[in-house]
């Protein structure tokens, strides 16, 4: 896998509880469950008209902008990109640090209350890092996809990858979930959300897991590239 060698030291947060795969000897602290620090210097974002259609960033800490100053998550930068291009959409950040696909599914109704036109579904990374059963991850993602599409929401599915210590079979199966679901439901799929970011230390925070503000800016441009064909 193209990114796995470099991500091996970047993404390992949790051991495989109760599974046969060998966990890494040295683990990073569970940073995804800590609150994101606020920034006193973060610029205020102007409110968008209530009648503008909503794009919801439905994910975990990568969407929430963990560790970056307030107002500098990838959804914030995506809003700036849309504004600059003249697209009248409101980007709503529905990212929760530490969330798994089960957690995301549990709050599907809350996301649907936003009445989004488009959802950027970025979940599953924490499932993989915790070694959760692939069938569980697939089922939860599929239920979110069908729930969103059933409400008339267009879904953009953002994929992730795993470090090699989780074993080739698990890694292959994990990545295939996104490929299969995107094909089955004819979704726009972002192969790897952190394309061009995860392998650049200057764009990653010290924890080696989350992008810096500049990294989030790159992620926003990646997302926009896949999002543009869906915009009116």
Active site residues: 61, 207, 210
Per-residue H/E/C for the chain: CCCHHHHCCCCCCCCCCCCCCCCCCCCCCCHHHCCCCCCCCCCCCCCCCCCCCEEEEEECHHHHCCCCCCCCCHHHHHHHHHHHHCCCCEEEEEECCCCCHHHHHHCHHHHHCCCEEEEEEECCHHHHHCCCCHHHHHHHHHHHHHHHHHCCCEEEEECCCCCHHHCHHHHHHHHHHHHHHHHHCCCEEECCCCCCCCCCHHHECCCCCCECHHHHHHHHHHHHHHHHHHCC
């Amino acid at each position: 896998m193209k990114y796995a060698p470099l991500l091996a030291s970047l993404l390992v947060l949790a051991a495989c509880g109760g599974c046969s795969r060998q966990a890494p000897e040295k683990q990073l602290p569970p940073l995804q469950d800590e609150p994101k620090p606020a920034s006193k210097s973060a610029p205020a974002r102007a409110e968008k008209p209530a009648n503008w259609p909503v794009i919801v960033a439905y994910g975990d800490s990568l969407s929430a902008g963990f560790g970056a100053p307030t107002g500098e998550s990838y959804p914030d930068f995506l809003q700036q990109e849309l504004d600059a291009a003249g697209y009248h959409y409101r980007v709503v950040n529905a990212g929760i640090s530490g969330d798994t696909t089960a957690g995301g599914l549990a709050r599907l109704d809350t996301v649907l209350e936003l009445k989004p036109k488009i959802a950027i579904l970025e979940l599953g990374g924490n499932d993989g890092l915790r070694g959760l059963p692939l069938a569980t991850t697939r089922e939860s993602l599929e239920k979110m996809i069908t729930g969103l599409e059933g409400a008339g929401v267009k879904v953009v599915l953002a994929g992730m990858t795993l470090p090699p210590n989780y074993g080739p079979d698990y890694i292959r199966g994990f990545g295939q979930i996104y490929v299969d679901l995107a094909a089955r439901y004819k979704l726009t799929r972002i192969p790897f959300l952190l394309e061009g970011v995860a392998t650049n230390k200057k764009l990653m925070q010290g924890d080696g897991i989350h992008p810096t503000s500049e990294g989030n800016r790159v992620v926003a441009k990646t997302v926009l590239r896949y999002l543009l064909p869906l915009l009116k």
